[in-house]
Amino acid sequence: MKKPVLFIFILILSFCTAANLGAQDSRVNSYSLRNLLNYQYRTSVITIQRLAFKDDLQHAYNVSFTSMGLTVSGRLSIPTAAPDNIKGIVIMLRGYQRLSTYYTGKGTENASLTYIQNGWIVISPDFLGYALSSPIPSPDFMAQFYSTINAVELYKSLELIAAPQTRPSPQVFQYSSSVPLTDRVTLPVSFKKIVLWGHSNGGQVALHFLEIIQKPVDTVLWAPVCIDFPDSAGHFGRGAAWAESFKELYTARDFSLFNYLDKIAEGTRIRLNHGDADTSTPISWSDALSKAIEDENIRRDANRRGRILLRYARHQGADHNMYPARIRSSVLANDVLFWEEN
């Protein structure tokens, strides 16, 4: 009797896995990296909805913008420095956060303090399904790719007021009428620089972003999830069987960040940080990414293409969030120096 019972159990397990993934869905293919290269990205006004708090360092606002035709909420932190002293804006892409305990700014607010203190505006999208954002579309297992669209459309909106300007700057940031005049600060009319920061799952989004945007955006990565989808989703909860089922339905190469490294713009500067005590994302993943970029650069040298300018720092004893504090402080300070080099 044991064999029939085991066989039935396997059938049930296989059915549940297939049901969770579903039959091949055209929506899934439309959000592959292959198709996102030609996605019709749109810009959006970024509405400053309310002042969340202010202190000697910053005015922190809750904001929203439109992406994929949906609402994405987030946090905008403006240093108390004079507008002319603002060095640029950092798009911060957070890692995984539990929905039940999430609030706007969680996952970026602590790291952002060093950047704000050094004269950088910080904007951190919540992503779909979180805080005041619209619910995540179906299928929900494509969340990383929806987040990539959110990041690209946010960048393209900010780019409208990036220096140098050949025409009058549009009004990208707008205060809601519900924000009192006493809670408003003056924003720069243009940004000298737009840079990117991605941690953990946000690091994977940042890598997807660079492959799609194909512009040399200075990028800092902290312990990125840099294994290919669907293996990344399988690793973080969906399971290996789910990932294998996905590969049977879809062409995995179309979703592979390693398959599109050639799309990253010539001269893109990437600062990759990873701690060797990280128990969430193995440092071997960043080792593999570093090697893949090295191989890509060899191909570029042969074809007389500009290199990806990677700096890889392995931090001895550092965990997933770059602690202990002495290491984290050093990493944050060097992030700022990296962005300010040119």
Q: What is the mean pLDDT of residues 38-61?
A: 97
Q: Can you give the pLDDT at residue 239?
A: 95
Query: What CATH number should be reported for the domain holding residue 118?
Result: 3.40.50.1820
pTM above 0.75, yes or no: yes
pLDDT for 15 equals 44
Query: Which domain range does residue 266 map to?
Result: 2-339
Give dist(CA 98, CA 84) in Å, integer: 38
Percent of the chain with pLDDT over 90: 85
> What pLDDT, in 10s, does the model give residues 55-70?
999 999 999 999 999 9
Instruction: Give the up-direction half-sphere exposure of residue 28: CA atoms within 13 A in the CB hemisphere.
Output: 18
Return the bridge partners of 197, or none.
Answer: 92, 220
What's the angle, vertex CA 336, arms to CA 207 and CA 291, rounded to 5?
35
Instruction: Give the range among 5-9, 55-59, 164-168, 254-258 with minimum mean pLDDT.
Output: 5-9
Beta strand 120-125 with 70-79 is: antiparallel
Domain count for the chain: 1
Q: How many residues does the chain have?
A: 342
Structure confidence by residue, pLDDT tens digits, 156-210: 999 998 866 555 567 899 999 999 999 999 888 888 899 999 999 999 999 999 9
Q: Check: CB of residue 174 under 8 Å from CB of residue 46.
A: yes
Tens digit of each residue's pLDDT (9 = 90 or more) over 73-129: 999 999 998 878 899 999 999 999 999 999 999 999 999 999 999 999 999 999 999
HSE value, Cβ hemisphere, 13 Å, CA-based, for 15 = 6
Identify whether the C-beta of residue 243 lies closer than 8 Å to the C-beta of residue 231.
yes
